[in-house]
Structure 1
Amino acid sequence: MDTLGAVIGGLSCLVAVAVNKAVPDPYLDEVFHIPQAQRYCENDYTWDPKITTPPGLYYLSKALLRYLKCSTISLRGVNVFGVCVALPLVLRLFPDSSPSSSVTHPRGRLSARTVVMLQLFPTFYFFGFLYYTDVWSTIFALLSVALANSSSTALPVIFVKTAVGLCNLCLRQTNIVWVLYAFLTELLALLVYPDEKGKERADDAVAPNRTVYAIGSAFDVIDVCLTVVRRAVARLMRSDVKRRRFWRIVGGYGVVGTVFAAFVLYNGGITLGDKDNHVAGLHIPQLFYFSVFTCILALPTTFPQLSRTLTALLVHHPFAFITTTSLFALAIKFTTIAHPFLLADNRHYPFYVWRRIINRTPWSRYALAPAYVVSMYIVFVRSWRRERFVSALAFVGACAAVLVPSPLIECRYYIVPYFVWRLRVAASEAVDENKEKKQEREVREWCELVWYLIINVCTIGLFLGKTFEWSQEPGVKQRFMW
């Protein structure tokens, strides 16, 4: 499998050469990022007000290219390095099984096959060859989530987690959500879930340990949430060790939260620049789009669940299905946002998805509501059926916090949520499998890897091989991209 990783690295270098040969000049958002990074490399820290993200990528590029010229090629190479080297190293920090099963299942590292598969995740992989902020902001967001799996509260570990959290803020403001998600993960492991090494107490078998499938009503949700609070308080009260660990965790993440709050107050909002075109809103369908995106990109994993999902929704719970579909239709009616960038820029795939599918007719967006219910069920229920409900709820909340305020439909915004979702699915599937199920999972992952390769060949090939021109910019080649 290390050989496969080396092959992927070699092919990625060839793709990078092809991209730089076909597109030697900054393209699209690169026209903002590359000149800004080059100014930083020359110790000129004047800021372009059109840039909406913090300067973390520019400082990182300056450090990595200390002895090289900050050309377009070398700056893009910073992201290629992230895809081929940094991401696999971070992914290897993730366990191969869910923390909920640490008692019954030895927790090793994520398999090399899964690492290579995620390395090729199409949206992430595509932007690895351009100078966008997505590659390194994703890497650091995942690093925060990975470090949260460590139960150590030694001061050096807390310092590292705090430093990584601050780096997240320097790369992308919305990464604060994934830092908070990591914080919740640590608190749940410390105060709610069973103690380590199998030393479970009597209360470890009750509500907070219910899986997603064990939730049957809103009353169950309330019961779980209230029990989580009661258990957390009780454990804090009766254990001096847990109290010390709790305050160390809170202290580390508290520094990150304080810095973020100070930034928002000083900046007058979360957006750094171009605030007129990046106004937060209430865009609930973003969760629907993400679920469909996830089902399609993880097709070898999600498609086998379609039959059981339809049976569960249409046969066993038809009233719940109709009610949920109606609520989704209302959310579509009152919270759908069509951003001017989406309507005007025909270089991005969402432009065509919006025009030819979602908004093709006055009623087409509502006709998709049943499909959204099915995809949401597959992503948040079927795929996470072995997860504890509280962990799943924290993930849904993080997805909502990242996606719902965004008025613009961008596949790039789905990268980190997808990675976190897919990693937890892989960990959940690895628990207590017999030999036959393990082989089935391996086959699905190989199929998913091939599926990613097919999508990458199509999208990168289209980007390199198909160009067009705008009438208002004659002679300038435009290209299709995510």
Structure 2
Amino acid sequence: MALLLLQVAGSILVSWKYPEPYMDEIFHIKQLGTYLNWDFATWDDKITTLPGLYIASWIILQVFPIHKFLGLVFASRLINALFGSLCWYLLRSLKDPKTSEIIMLYPPLFLSGCLYYTDNAALLSILLSYLFLKNKKNKLSALIGLFSIICRQTNIIWIGYFVLIEISAGLGPSLYQNIKTIWKQKYAIIQTYFPFIILLILFIAFLIVNKGIAVGDRENHIPVFHFTQICYLALIMALYTDYDQNLWIKALKQLKNVFLFLWLVLISLGVTYFTYEHPFIIADNTHYTFYIWKNILKPYLYIFPILFEISFIYLFFRAENSLRYFIWIFCSCVVLIPAPLLELRYFIIPIVTFLMQTKTKFSKIRILALYAINIVTLGIFVFKPYKNIGFLW
């Protein structure tokens, strides 16, 4: 309950300080306003995602037209807070309450949840799709999955991830035996998950017609091979999970392994030749990533490969199932590596999917620390702006 109150309070405070659309909200709220005027043909070319967020918001505001007396900006942010609350509720159904709280306290997710951004809607729709998938309602799951893709195109990968997780649920540790089992059951698997095959075909058709994944602002979202993105994720994920000293020691001991030494060499080469400095990250000093990149990552990047490798190993030991871990790594690579920009919000769904498949015991100190971080960053955003521009992640 404290988390929900903090999220709503955050939306109210942000709307008090910033009554006009803020940063990316300029495009999102303008597009929602266009839909509320019953103009569904006009599209802002600066928006990269499909209109799922605006469609959902439009439906809500048709039923509860709170924008008529609260204003569209405040109403939009309250809708996003509602989406965040529903995410928390679904996570409690899919996982334990403490883990769901930790997930929703991920600072970039919390702070973006106080604005009208796409993160909460994208997460909510993918969680709802997974809930129905777990309950064997595959047609409904695929239908909601379609809407999830309309909220954010890369959600197709996470729909595939959850399908693979369900397929692998009854498999053992032997890779060879698992392949044999899947091959024997291939027709039953195709029949069971056929709605998702249709979904994949529709998505491929979209890519062909659209000539790419982004629907707007393509010049700033040209796919690259940004290998270091998956390394950033591993480090953040290892630090964000609960601290286990024994697992960290176990991970460090694995560095003597010859195979893992070769993996370290590959990580070093990948970081050296496939790290990108997007113009956005050096042009905007009101994002914390600007300072993380400028003062930590860029000048000391040469020491990070060893930290990245230890993080990968630690997460492997932390994962409940090695097959699921490698599926997660693969899906995270497909989503993150093509992205040229280091943006902490891109890691939200990878972090959620990992924590959902992992047994964790978060201490009260860690939870309180996350509350403190979010309260402080919210306070800085509202009360300590730089030239009337607040600091975001």
Tell me how far apart the structure 1 counterparts of residues 203 and 59 of structure 2 sit (CA, whole Å): 24
Q: Does 2:232 align with 1:284?
A: no
Paired residue type of 2:177:
T
Describe the superposition over 1:209-241 as per-residue Cα deviations: whole angstroms up to 9, x where unpaired.
25xxxxxxxxxxxxx1x43222112245xxxxx
> Could you tell me the TM-score, scaled by structure 2's length?
0.92
* Paired position in structure 2 for 1:48: 44
Distance 1:10 1:322 in 2: 48
Superposed displacement of residue 318, structure 1: 5.3
| 1:304-351: CA deviation from partner (whole Å, max 9, x where unpaired) | 6323322332xxx25445433222110012211111111211111111
Amino acid in the other structure paired with 1:250: Y
- Report the equivalent of 1:68: 66
**Distance in 2 (alpha carbons) for counterparts of 1:307 and 1:162:** 42
Q: Deviations over 1:100-122 (max 9, x none)?
A: xxxxxxxxxx3333333323232
Q: Greater CA radius of gyration, 1 or 2?
A: 1
The residue type paired with residue 183 of structure 2 is V
Distance 1:31 1:302 in 2: 43
- Assess if the C-alpha contact under 8 Å between 2:50 and 2:152 holds in 1: yes
- In the other structure, the counterpart of 1:216 is none
Q: Is the aligned partner of 1:373 residue 2:309?
A: yes
Q: Do residues 209 (structure 1) and 173 (structure 2) align?
A: yes
User: Which aligned pairs between 1:111-130 and structure 2 lie closer than 5 A?
Assistant: 111-130=96-115
CA displacement at 1:303 relative to structure 2 = 5.8
Cα deviation, residue 259, structure 1? 1.6
Is the CA contact 1:144–1:178 (under 8 Å) kept in the aligned structure 2? Answer: no
Partner SS state of residue 148, structure 1: helix
1:421 counterpart residue number: 354
SS class of match (2:93): coil
Residue 19 (structure 2) pairs with residue 20 (structure 1)? no
User: Structure 1 residue 9 and structure 2 residue 8: aligned?
Assistant: no
**Paired position in structure 2 for 1:82:** 83
In 2, Cα distance between the equivalents of 1:424 and 1:183? 13
Q: Which stretches in structure 1 are left out of the alignment for 5+ residues?
A: 95-109, 195-207, 211-223, 237-242, 430-440, 470-476
Task: Provide Cα deviations, 1:340-368, integer angstroms capped at 9, x if missing partner.
Answer: 111211111111111111212xxx21221
User: Separation in 2 of the partners of 1:480 and 1:25?
Assistant: 16
Corresponding letter in the other structure for 1:308? K
SS in 1 for 2:134: coil
1:390 partner letter: L
2:250 corresponds to which residue? Answer: 308
C-alpha contact (below 8 Å) 2:132/2:138 kept by paired residues:
no
Partner in structure 2 of residue 342 of structure 1: 281
SS at match of 2:358: helix
Q: How far off is 1:258 after superposition?
A: 1.8
Distance 1:270 1:112 in 2: 35
CA shift in 2, pair 1:325/1:90, >3 Å:
same
Q: TM-score, normalised by structure 1?
A: 0.76
Task: Tell me, yes or no, if structure 1 residue 462 matches structure 2 residue 380.
Answer: yes
Cα distance in 1 for partners of 2:370, 2:341 equals 25
Q: Distance in 1 between matches of 2:198 and 2:245?
A: 43
Asked if 1:159 corresponds to 2:139, the answer is yes
Q: Structure 1, residues 85-144: CA drift from partner, whole Å, max 9, x if none?
A: x112321332xxxxxxxxxxxxxxx33333333232322111111000011101112233
Which amino acid in structure 2 is aligned with residue 13 of structure 1?
V
**1:91 equivalent in structure 2:** 91
Classify the secondary structure of the residue corresponding to 1:209: coil
Equivalent of 1:265, from 191, 196, 208?
A: 208
1:446 maps onto 2:364 in alignment: yes
- 3-state SS of paired residue (2:386): strand
Tell me the matched-pair count: 387
- Tell me, what secondary structure is at the counterpart of 1:359? helix
CA contact (8 A) 1:53 1:272 kept: yes
Q: C-alpha separation between the residues in 2 aligned to 1:343 and 1:294? A: 24
SS of alignment partner, residue 215 of structure 2: coil
Q: Which of 177, 199, 203 is 1:227 aligned to?
A: 177
Q: Does 1:35 align with 2:30?
A: yes
CA-based RMSD: 1.9
57 and 13 in structure 1: CA distance in 2 versus 1, 3 angstrom threshold: same
